[in-house]
């Protein structure tokens, strides 16, 4: 699961050191030199090919032959270097060894760049327009005719999704466009399954009689029939064909026990039977998260996302008659995917997380009796993939083939092979751009020709200095040989218009209007500042231009200054690419006050809003940079003079990587949270004086008795205590509301239970209402699992006030705090929901609903 972070951490090191001549005789380099060169060799370049390499994200060097190279800009004593591949000629794939180093005290001469053939061919590019659907997110299914069949969640005549066929030569045909409504499904949500009759069977997540999804059949000629309509919000996964000719599947929701999901059977004629309802708890799994796998014994094997001994998910077996057994409980937050039956009768699978210290995921084996073995832990970086989010595919050679969503040469994902003994080989690294794509979705499909076929969800280019956001494609279909030669079969396109994806709360101006920012969109794609009246009239005040003269991606709320202007920060952009602090007038005149320089002497990538201090200056945090490169606290005057007050140390004694704004206490000090670090590495609450003296007040313990990973600022209550939320931890691991005194005594007031009756995973700070209660939002949970608005008393009594429905008529997944208007209503934003558009965020796989502004 790829983390959809819109922030890209630039590695730009600008060295402008003047060397003075000291005279005298020769002396040892290690004793007298202050600058050192970085050099090495390039091998394996094809004739006529070239490669551009960078050091620390800059000092680009173009190499046109197999030879040595040396960067022009030297590295200062005790500095660091990071050699990366920028651009290279199509058909080449290059790996760098000895690519990084720190505390440099001598010339580096052994950087090695080895290139090899990596042919990439597109078979088919999706247009994203009617009648072709965009963003294929599920595996292809091989038909009896040798062609491949798949689905898109959106697109088609009614924009409700399509079923398509593509030949191995890349000829694509749309077979069917879903009509939606009560008579047809909407948004197919899983791969197709080939039945014994040669037809394909699948599921949709909405549409049908109750708009809760359907099971459908479609012939190879495109004749579709709805077999069954779910009566509850099912969220089904792909069907599995049983030995009896019936289909077996799972639903994420529903059932008789806590809405924890079901296993069901459906005949080819549409007769459905619920075989089992998951109970959750420590003795059973909950929330099945992948399709079932048929074992050699005729039973079905599957995985759940939660439940089990540690509430981290299970592997289970269920008979065709519905007798279920838990085989294994994961001990870490695994997020497993469908099991694959090996030739040895054992099952093989992948987890998105867990494994080595980098938490990059694993490949595991489990026997039918439940003996589990971790075969491989993904290392990530440029030489390996990370975070596999699909099941494995068994090749004709007995090995398994899969994809990762991250890692590889360009960190856009990989295709890999792994033997039953756990020997892993990266076959291909996705490069993105117009000739390749990223974010591979769905498992690979083995074709009759022995090659593998897959889909990618689509890409958006990350902005660099002077180059705005762009969207090279909306997803592809590709072919890859067992030896790693990749072919791109099909791609999609899109455009940008207004600002989109507001991730921060609104700020009320002196005129009673609300002011906010969007992370993306605008004239240049770098984000906007906007104004909206209480009646809903919106005006874009400013479009960020990026480059070295302006910021990119404002991610925190605006702060109203004493002068009536608004102050904020962008996470990247500016002179050094590490973000800016800016001022903007109510009329939309923007001024960059400061560009962060990063490194050990300054912060980098500010993440939260600025906080106005009693001295008229602004105080904020950066998530990176500083002495230990894990974040800082800084002060900046309205004139733009910046001072680093504190650099976080991390470890067990301090927080790390703060991502939220500071809160001014009645004592004149500032209080904040760090999402990482502390005794249990679950985050901290800290205090800092205006002079920069920092004290850790509390370390979150996580687990069922405490919260973990606070992602929202503290709110000062009328009792002088601070109130906040954590996105994880608590009784159900769905987050908590807590109170903490200025002395650091913490009390958990409430644990969110999630499901359809309560919110889950709050990521926004609380807002103090005029009645003394606190009001907030959760990004998940609620009736439609699209998030909630809730009220909580200082004593911890919680009430769900509203459940977001999503779709085109309502917002979804709010991540920013509420703002109390002068009319007594609360105003807020959602990151999703509203009218569909072909604009979409980095990493998403379908045209997006770009968010809403709402009043409650």
How large is the average pLDDT for residues 622-642? 93
- 3-class SS of residue 272: strand
- Whole-number Å distance between alpha carbons of 457 and 846: 7
How large is the average pLDDT for residues 225-239? 87
Residues paired with residue 63 on neighbouring β-strands, in sequence order: 51
- 3-class SS of residue 30: helix
How large is the average pLDDT for residues 506-518? 84
Size (the chain), residues: 856
How large is the average pLDDT for residues 132-151? 74
Number of domains within the chain: 2
* pLDDT, tens digit, 9 for 90 and up, residues 718-761: 899 999 999 999 998 999 999 999 999 999 999 999 888 999 99
pLDDT of residue 212: 87
* pLDDT, tens digit, 9 for 90 and up, residues 640-653: 999 999 999 988 99
DSSP structural state of residue 71: -
pLDDT band at 462 (very low <50, low <70, confident <90, very high): very low
pLDDT band at 134 (very low <50, low <70, confident <90, very high): very low
pLDDT of residue 830: 80
pLDDT of residue 28: 33
pLDDT of residue 574: 92
Of 447, 459, 436, nearest to 401 (Cα)? 447
pLDDT of residue 771: 87
In a domain, 485, yes or no: no
Of all helices (H) and strands (E), which one includes residue 31?
helix 29-32
pLDDT band at 507 (very low <50, low <70, confident <90, very high): confident
- Give the percent of the chain with pLDDT over 90: 35
Structural domain ending residue among the three candidates 58, 83, 117: 117
- Whole-number Å distance between alpha carbons of 488 and 119: 10
In a domain, 837, yes or no: yes
- Whole-number Å distance between alpha carbons of 648 and 655: 6
Tokens of residue 528, six digits: 């906007």
Range of the domain at 102: 29-117
Query: What is the rounded radius of gyration, in angstroms, for the C-alpha atoms of the chain?
Result: 27
pTM above 0.85, yes or no: no
In a domain, 53, yes or no: yes
- Whole-number Å distance between alpha carbons of 687 and 132: 55
In a domain, 777, yes or no: yes
Chain CA centroid to CA 148, Å = 29
Higher confidence at residue 510 or residue 17?
510
- Whole-number Å distance between alpha carbons of 315 and 323: 14
Of the ranges 17-31, 106-120, 227-241, 448-462, which one carries the lowest mean pLDDT score? 17-31
- Whole-number Å distance between alpha carbons of 136 and 133: 8
In the predicted structure, residue 472 carries a pLDDT above the cut 90: no
pLDDT band at 484 (very low <50, low <70, confident <90, very high): low
Give the best-scoring range by mean pLDDT among 316-325, 413-422, 806-815: 316-325
Phi, psi angle pair for 32, to nearest 5°:
-115, -30
* pLDDT, tens digit, 9 for 90 and up, residues 401-454: 988 888 878 788 888 999 999 888 888 887 654 445 556 766 777 777 788 877
- Whole-number Å distance between alpha carbons of 803 and 778: 9
pLDDT of residue 136: 56
In a domain, 524, yes or no: no
Structural domain ending residue among the three candidates 60, 89, 117: 117
Structural domain ending residue among the three candidates 83, 98, 117: 117
* pLDDT, tens digit, 9 for 90 and up, residues 780-792: 989 888 899 999 9
Of 752, 696, 755, nearest to 728 (Cα)? 752
pLDDT of residue 843: 38
pLDDT of residue 30: 36
Higher confidence at residue 359 or residue 202?
202
81: domain CATH number is 2.60.40
pLDDT band at 710 (very low <50, low <70, confident <90, very high): very high
How large is the average pLDDT for residues 159-176? 81
Q: Which residue shows structure tokens 């969640």?
A: 153
**Quick check: bond before 447 cis, omega within 30?**
no
In a domain, 702, yes or no: no
User: Does residue 50 contact residue 62 with C-beta atoms inside 8 Å?
Assistant: yes
pLDDT band at 1 (very low <50, low <70, confident <90, very high): very low
Tokens of residue 520, six digits: 């993306």
In a domain, 493, yes or no: no
Higher confidence at residue 402 or residue 92?
402
- Give the percent of the chain with pLDDT over 70: 83
pLDDT band at 10 (very low <50, low <70, confident <90, very high): very low
pLDDT band at 475 (very low <50, low <70, confident <90, very high): low
Of 661, 595, 594, nearest to 633 (Cα)? 661
In the predicted structure, residue 809 carries a pLDDT above the cut 90: no
In a domain, 578, yes or no: no
Instruction: Calculate the average pLDDT of the chain.
Output: 81
Pairing assessment for the beta strands 798-803 and 788-792 based on DSSP bridges: antiparallel
pLDDT of residue 699: 94
pLDDT band at 395 (very low <50, low <70, confident <90, very high): confident
pLDDT band at 458 (very low <50, low <70, confident <90, very high): low
């Amino acid at each position: 699961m790829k983390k959809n972070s819109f922030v890209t951490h630039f590695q730009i090191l600008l060295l402008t050191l003047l060397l003075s001549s000291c005279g005298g005789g020769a002396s040892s380099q290690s004793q007298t030199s202050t600058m050192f060169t970085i050099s090495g060799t390039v091998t394996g370049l094809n004739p006529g090919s070239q490669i551009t390499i960078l050091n620390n994200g800059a000092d680009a060097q173009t190499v046109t032959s197999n030879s040595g190279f040396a960067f022009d800009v030297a590295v200062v004593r005790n500095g660091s270097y990071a050699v990366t591949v920028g651009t290279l000629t199509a058909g080449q794939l290059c790996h760098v060894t000895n690519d990084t180093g720190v505390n440099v005290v001598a010339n580096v001469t052994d950087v090695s760049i080895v290139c090899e053939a990596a042919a990439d061919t597109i078979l088919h590019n999706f247009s994203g327009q009617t009648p072709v659907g965009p963003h294929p997110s599920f595996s292809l299914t091989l038909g009896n005719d040798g062609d491949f069949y798949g689905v898109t969640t959106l697109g088609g005549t009614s924009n409700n999704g399509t079923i398509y066929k593509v030949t191995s030569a890349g000829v694509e045909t749309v077979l069917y466009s879903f009509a939606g409504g009560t008579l047809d499904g909407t948004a197919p949500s899983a791969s197709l399954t080939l039945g014994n009759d040669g037809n394909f069977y699948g599921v949709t997540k909405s549409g049908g009689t109750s708009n809760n999804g359907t099971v459908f059949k479609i012939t190879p000629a495109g004749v579709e029939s709805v077999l069954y309509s779910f009566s509850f919000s099912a969220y089904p996964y792909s069907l599995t064909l049983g030995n009896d000719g019936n289909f077996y599947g799972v639903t994420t929701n529903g059932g008789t026990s806590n809405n924890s999901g079901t296993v069901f059977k459906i005949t080819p004629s549409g007769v459905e039977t619920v075989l089992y309802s998951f109970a959750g708890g420590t003795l059973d799994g909950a929330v099945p998260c992948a399709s079932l796998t048929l074992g050699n014994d005729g039973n079905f094997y599957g995985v759940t996302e939660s439940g089990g001994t540690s509430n981290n998910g299970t592997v289970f077996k269920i008979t065709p008659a519905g007798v279920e057994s838990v085989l294994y409980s994961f001990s870490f937050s695994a997020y497993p995917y469908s099991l694959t039956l090996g030739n040895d009768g054992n099952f093989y699978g992948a987890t998105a997380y867990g494994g080595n210290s980098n938490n990059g995921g694993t490949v595991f084996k489990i026997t039918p009796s439940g003996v589990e073995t971790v075969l491989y832990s993904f290392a990530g970086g440029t030489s390996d993939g990370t975070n596999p989010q699909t099941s494995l595919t068994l090749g004709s050679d007995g090995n398994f083939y899969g994809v990762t969503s991250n890692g590889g040469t360009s960190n856009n994902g990989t295709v890999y092979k792994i033997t039953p003994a756990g020997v892993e080989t990266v076959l291909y690294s996705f490069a993105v751009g117009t000739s390749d794509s990223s974010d591979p979705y769905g498992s690979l499909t083995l074709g009759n020709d022995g090659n593998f076929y897959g889909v990618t969800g689509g890409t958006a280019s990350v902005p660099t200095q002077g180059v705005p956001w762009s969207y090279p494609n909306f997803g592809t279909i590709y072919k890859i040989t067992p030896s790693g030669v990749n072919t791109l079969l099909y791609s999609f396109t899109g455009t940008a218009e207004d600002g989109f994806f507001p991730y921060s709360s609104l700020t009320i101006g002196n005129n009673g209007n609300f002011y906010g920012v969007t992370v993306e969109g605008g004239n240049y794609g770098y984000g906007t500042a906007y104004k909206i009246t209480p009646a809903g009239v919106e005006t874009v005040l400013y479009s960020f231009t990026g480059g070295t003269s302006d910021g990119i991606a404002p991610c925190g709320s605006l702060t109203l200054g004493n002068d009536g202007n608004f102050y904020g920060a962008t996470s990247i952009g500016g002179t050094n690419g590490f973000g800016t602090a800016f001022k903007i007038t109510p009329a939309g005149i923007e001024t960059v006050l400061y560009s962060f320089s990063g490194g050990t002497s300054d912060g980098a990538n500010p993440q939260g809003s600025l906080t106005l201090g009693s001295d008229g200056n602004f105080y904020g945090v950066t998530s990176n940079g500083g002495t230990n490169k894990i974040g800082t606290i800084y002060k900046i005057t309205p004139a733009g003079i910046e001072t680093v007050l504190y650099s976080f140390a991390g470890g067990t004694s301090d927080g790390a990587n703060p991502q939220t704004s500071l809160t001014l206490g009645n004592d004149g000090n500032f209080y904040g949270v760090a999402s990482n670090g502390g005794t249990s590495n679950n985050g901290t609450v800290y205090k800092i004086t205006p002079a920069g003296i920092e004290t850790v007040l509390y370390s979150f313990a996580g687990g069922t008795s405490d919260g973990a990973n606070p992602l929202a600022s503290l709110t000062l209550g009328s009792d002088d205590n601070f109130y906040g939320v954590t996105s994880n931890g608590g009784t159900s691991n769905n987050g908590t509301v807590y109170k903490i005194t200025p002395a650091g005594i913490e009390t958990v007031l409430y644990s969110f239970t999630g499901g359809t009756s309560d919110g889950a995973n709050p990521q926004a700070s609380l807002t103090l209402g005029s009645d003394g209660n606190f009001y907030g939002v959760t990004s998940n949970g609620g009736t439609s699992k699209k998030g909630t608005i809730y009220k909580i008393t200082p004593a911890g009594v919680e009430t769900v006030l509203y459940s977001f429905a999503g779709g085109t008529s309502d917002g979804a997944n709010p991540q920013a705090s509420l703002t109390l208007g002068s009319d007594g209503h609360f105003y807020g934003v959602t990151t999703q929901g509203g009218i569909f558009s072909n604009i979409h965020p980095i990493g998403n796989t379908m045209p997006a609903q770009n968010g809403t502004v709402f009043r409650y």
